């Protein structure tokens, strides 16, 4: 299948800063779900969390530095340059306008984010725009009883095998296991704030950028 028609992975986030757990999530999703490319989309004004500590320009530059030399990964700068709040459905609508109605889009998210999906802006419309790739830790069981009833119903109806994601443009939910890496942007920022080194938690080009611009101090 030509790359321009193959499923495209979508990984959004504040990336404040981007770190190795983000990259590993993208890599394992690509491997498990046969995604030739994964697009990272830094949020401009995230709607569901506090404002990022680093500016959009800095966060975008760090993502670009982290992805340099990794041809399977690409960076989308559109959200950072927008003044509107970053909501997932409008982002996917923009991508549909760019990529067409037929290309499979695969929104990558962790189990914690999925548990809160029913609180997202226009969340039911997600399924008409993209598949969901649900990352869980090895041995983790996502109990449908713990989900809101409306979300449990969607999961029961839409669960599919990874191979099915290439067969239609949107609407499926495929699970995959990912290596548990206890790395968070909050922990990285705290290490920097307290004059400890986050080396080996973030890629070297990102660390160089943080030091060069005195971020998170």
Domain ranges within the chain, ordered by starting residue: 8-212
Residue 143 has pLDDT above 80, yes or no: no
**182-212 burial code (b ≥16 CB/10 A, e <16):** ebebeebbebbeeeeebeebbbebbbebbee
Give 45's pLDDT tier (boundaries 50, 70, 90).
confident
Give tens-digit pLDDT for 161-180. Answer: 999 999 999 999 999 999 98
* CA distances, 128 to each of 27, 160, 192 (Å): 25, 15, 41
Give 140's pLDDT tier (boundaries 50, 70, 90).
confident
Residue 3: the pLDDT is 61
3-state SS class at 83: coil
Class of domain 8-212: alpha beta
- C-alpha–C-alpha distance, residues 74 and 130, integer Å: 18
Residue 84: the pLDDT is 81
Burial (0-12, 13-18, 19+ Cβ within 10 Å), 89: middle
Give tens-digit pLDDT for 88-138. Answer: 999 999 999 999 999 999 999 998 889 899 999 899 999 999 999 999 887
Determine contact, residues 58/215, Cβ cutoff 8 Å.
Answer: yes
Residue 1 has pLDDT above 60, yes or no: no
The chain-wide mean pLDDT, for the chain, equals 93
Determine contact, residues 88/121, Cβ cutoff 8 Å.
Answer: yes
Check residue 98 and report its DSSP letter.
H
Residue 180: the pLDDT is 86
Give tens-digit pLDDT for 47-97. Answer: 667 789 999 999 999 999 999 999 999 999 999 988 788 899 999 999 999
85-86/45-46 β-pairing: parallel
Residue 99: the pLDDT is 96
∠ Cα 21 23 27 (to 5°) = 115
Residue 199 has pLDDT above 90, yes or no: yes
State mean pLDDT over 29-46.
95
Residue 145: the pLDDT is 61
3-state SS class at 135: strand
């Amino acid at each position: 299948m030509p790359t321009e028609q193959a499923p495209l992975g979508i990984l959004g986030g504040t990336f404040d800063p981007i770190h190795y757990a983000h990259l590993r999530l993208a890599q394992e999703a690509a491997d498990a779900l046969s995604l030739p490319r994964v697009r990272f989309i830094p949020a401009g004004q995230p709607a569901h969390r506090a404002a990022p500590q680093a500016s959009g320009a800095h966060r975008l530059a760090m993502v670009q530095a982290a992805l340099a030399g990794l041809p399977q990964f690409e960076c989308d700068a559109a959200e950072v340059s927008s003044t509107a709040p970053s909501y997932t459905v409008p982002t996917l609508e923009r991508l549909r306008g760019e990529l067409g109605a037929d290309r499979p889009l695969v929104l990558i998210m962790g189990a914690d984010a999925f548990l809160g999906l029913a609180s997202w802006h226009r969340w039911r419309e997600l399924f008409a725009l993209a598949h969901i790739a649900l990352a869980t830790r090895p041995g983790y069981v996502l109990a449908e009883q713990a989900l809101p009833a409306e979300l449990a119903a969607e999961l029961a109806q839409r669960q599919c095998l990874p191979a099915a994601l290439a067969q239609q443009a949107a609407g499926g939910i495929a699970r995959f296991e990912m290596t548990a890496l206890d790395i968070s942007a909050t922990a990285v920022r705290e290490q920097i704030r307290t004059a400890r080194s986050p080396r080996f938690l973030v890629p070297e080009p990102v660390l160089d950028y943080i030091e060069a611009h005195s971020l998170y101090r």
